[in-house]
């Protein structure tokens, strides 16, 4: 699944923070989205998922042979198409245990039945097995309880997105606050799903080693515009990227 942006802009009180002439995201397995602080990376993912209302422009989703504009949709409808975004800021799931939080993320709305107020919903064995597999891979300090640290909350946010089985997963600085070995494990899981053809990924990261070692295509955003895109090697060698971002 791929998203194409055309003439996509976002302004706040007349100041334009995003201005994408023409670009597409999600067509290359794992893609990187890099750029300085304040470049507009999170705003771009927000506009692509309709969590942020763009000022002008269009975003289309292309899935197999069908292309449709997202601009009249709400963000939950975009999510139902399979475009799912992790959050840059830590999310709190304080009222749900880790397992319930994963169960709730994975339960489609038609199964969230009002009758379950009186009657326990049927146990979804397949989902429970999937949750067991995730929890054995990512050890939480209290797996039967709640996500405790900032790192655990960040990890739970990522796992909640993955268990939904997205077609396009947008990750906003997933590794910030995660220990290195957990980051490696998250990227391994993501890569497995991409290799299996289950999803494509766009990942915002300031950790460039992670970008170079995991991405097959990279977009460079600066002052709201995509100034360069290409393979990691081409991006590394690009003079504009070096001048504006890598402090050369």
Ligand X SMILES: Nc1ncnc2c1ncn2[C@@H]1O[C@H](COP(=O)(O)OP(=O)(O)OP(=O)(O)O)[C@@H](O)[C@H]1O
- Name the residues that contact ligand X, by CB under 6 A: 12, 17, 35, 37-43, 88
Handedness of CA 109, 29, 206, 241 (dihedral sign): negative
Query: If contact means CB under 5 to 8 A according to the sort of partner, which of ligand X, Mg ion, none does residue 121 touch?
Result: none
**Positions that interact with Mg ion (CB under 5 A):** 42, 88
- The 3-state DSSP class for residue 239 equals helix
Query: If contact means CB under 5 to 8 A according to the sort of partner, which of Mg ion, ligand X, none does residue 12 touch?
Result: ligand X
Output 53 or 233, the one with its CB closest to Mg ion.
Answer: 53
Output 106 or 201, the one with its CB closest to ligand X.
Answer: 201
Output 63 or 207, the one with its CB closest to ligand X.
Answer: 207
- Please give the full DSSP string across 118-182, using - where no structure is assigned: TSPPPP-HHHHHHHHHHHHHS--SSTTS---SHHHHHHHHHHHHHHT--SEEEEESTTTTS-HHH
Output 6 or 11, the one with its CB closest to ligand X.
Answer: 11
CA distance 50 to 18: 14
Residue least distant from Mg ion (Cβ)? 42
CA distance 125 to 131: 10
Query: If contact means CB under 5 to 8 A according to the sort of partner, which of ligand X, Mg ion, none does residue 40 touch?
Result: ligand X
Output 42 or 200, the one with its CB closest to Mg ion.
Answer: 42
Query: If contact means CB under 5 to 8 A according to the sort of partner, which of Mg ion, ligand X, none does residue 17 touch?
Result: ligand X
Query: If contact means CB under 5 to 8 A according to the sort of partner, which of ligand X, Mg ion, none does residue 211 touch?
Result: none
Compute the 3-state secondary structure of the chain and give helix, strand, coil in percent, each to the nearest 5.
40, 25, 35
CB of 45 to ligand X, least distance (A): 8
Query: If contact means CB under 5 to 8 A according to the sort of partner, which of ligand X, Mg ion, none does residue 81 touch?
Result: none
Output 102 or 204, the one with its CB closest to ligand X.
Answer: 204
CA distance 156 to 88: 13
Q: How does strand 200-204 pair with strand 217-222?
A: unpaired
Conformational region of residue 91, where left means phi above 0, alpha means psi within -120 to 50, and beta covers everything else: beta
CB of 160 to ligand X, least distance (A): 21
Residue 8: phi and psi, rounded to 5, are: -85, 115
CB of 206 to ligand X, least distance (A): 6
Sequence-distant (6+) residues with CB within 8 A of 38 are 17
CB of 147 to ligand X, least distance (A): 22
CB of 224 to ligand X, least distance (A): 7
CB of 88 to ligand X, least distance (A): 6
């Amino acid at each position: 699944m791929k998203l194409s942006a055309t003439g996509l802009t976002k302004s706040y009180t007349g100041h334009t923070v995003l201005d994408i002439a023409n670009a597409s995201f999600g067509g290359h397995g794992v893609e990187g989205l890099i750029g300085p602080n304040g470049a507009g990376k999170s705003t771009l993912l927000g506009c692509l998922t309709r969590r942020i209302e763009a000022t002008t422009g269009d975003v289309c989703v292309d899935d197999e042979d069908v292309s449709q504009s997202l601009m009249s949709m709400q963000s939950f409808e975009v999510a139902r198409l399979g475009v799912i975004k992790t959050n840059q800021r830590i999310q709190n799931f304080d009222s749900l245990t880790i397992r319930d939080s994963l169960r709730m993320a994975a339960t489609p709305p038609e199964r969230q039945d009002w009758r379950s107020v009186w009657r326990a919903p049927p146990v979804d064995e397949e989902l429970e097995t999937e949750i067991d597999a995730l929890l054995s891979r990512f050890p939480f300090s209290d797996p039967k309880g709640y996500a405790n640290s900032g790192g655990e909350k960040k990890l739970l946010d990522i796992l909640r997105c993955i268990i939904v089985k997205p077609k396009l997963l947008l990750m906003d600085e997933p590794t910030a606050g995660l220990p290195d070995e957990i980051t490696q494990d998250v990227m391994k899981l993501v890569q497995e799903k991409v290799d299996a053809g289950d999803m494509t990924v766009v990942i915002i990261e300031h950790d460039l080693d992670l970008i170079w070692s995991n991405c097959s295509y990279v977009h460079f955003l600066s002052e709201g515009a995509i100034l360069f895109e290409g393979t990691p090697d081409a991006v590394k060698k690009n003079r504009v990227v070096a001048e504006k971002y890598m402090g050369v």
